Amino acid sequence: MRSSGNNSNRNHRGAGNGRDDKQKRTGKPPRPEERRYGKQGGPGAPGKPARKRAAPARSREYDAQIEERNRARHSKQAPKLPKTHGEPEGERLQKVLARAGLGSRRACEELIDQARVEVNGRIVTEQGRRVDPDKDEIKVDGLTIASQSYLFFALNKPAGVVASMEDPEGRQCLGDYVQNREARLFHVGRLDTETEGLILLTNHGELAHRLTHPRYGVKKSYLAAIRGPIPRDLGKRLKDGIKLEDGYARADHFKVVENTGNNYLVEVSLHEGRKHIVRRMLAEAGFPVDKLVRTHFGPLALGSQKSGWLRRLTNTEVGQLMREVGL
């Protein structure tokens, strides 16, 4: 009887510790169905999930205040931090070239490697050169690049548009084509109201001054519709000079472009900029102008640009204008 009691106690203890012995032998945790839980349960214990408290409802006014604070916080501009000691000034040259429209930064680095870039008259070949685009003179292949702060536009002015940025009489003017622009633009030279064609708009004062100053003699070309027949020596008379009330006016170039019956289309080029100069010259020679279009201004051509269209000049075109007047 005593031995059987001892055996039963051992069997009971073995049954209780068999699960732990199995875990020690295999190194694996017991299966979910073998886990035992206390009366209170624990994390992951089966039973009813804990009931979450519902968040109190917020008023629309409170939500609006939060949204307004977030908008005000994100709309603030980042403060400009002071430069640390030893930090180089200016922008990297290849970044300035890329912003001027000369290609990607990698392409601009190749321009520097090819010794095609000048800064203040000296060729730059090392990468990482820092410049100030507002102060330094930067050229690529001999052409000055335009700073980002300057704007240059070409407008094909229609007939009937007044060549001024504002008109007190309320007529259509050049300012109507450049509205909603932060920079104040002004026109380079003038075209009379009935003359069509190429006129430049910019905020670069020195370039505009030189393009219109007689000292630099920038050539302009016009197509004029007149009625013939015209004499063969008309071109020679215009080149020799036509006497006007304010002095002689001379053409640099003259040719007949088209002739249909008595209708002639002629091209006249000159470097003067007096008021109505082409109309007055041809009228004085005996051939009043029916229609006049300016097709060239210095190195720039009107091309296929439609009437009333405004386009931004390319960096190459700006460089050509600057070279024309020595900038």
The verdict on whether 192 is a catalytic residue reads yes
> Rounded to an integer, what distance in angstroms lies between the CA atom of residue 156 and that of residue 165?
15
> Rounded to an integer, what distance in angstroms lies between the CA atom of residue 312 and that of residue 185?
13
Q: Which of 192, 240, 252, 290 is catalytic?
A: 192
> Rounded to an integer, what distance in angstroms lies between the CA atom of residue 209 and that of residue 289?
29
Amino acid identity at 136: D
Of the candidates 246, 235, 226, the one whose C-alpha atom is nearest the C-alpha of residue 268 is 235
> Rounded to an integer, what distance in angstroms lies between the CA atom of residue 64 and that of residue 61?
5
Of the candidates 231, 166, 222, 167, the one whose C-alpha atom is nearest the C-alpha of residue 198 is 222
Are residues 251 and 269 in contact, defined by beta-carbon separation less than 8 angstroms?
Answer: yes
Sign for the CA dihedral angle at 159, 162, 168, 174 comes to positive
> Rounded to an integer, what distance in angstroms lies between the CA atom of residue 280 and that of residue 238?
11
What's phi and psi for 100, nearest 5 deg? -80, 0
Active site (catalytic) residues:
192
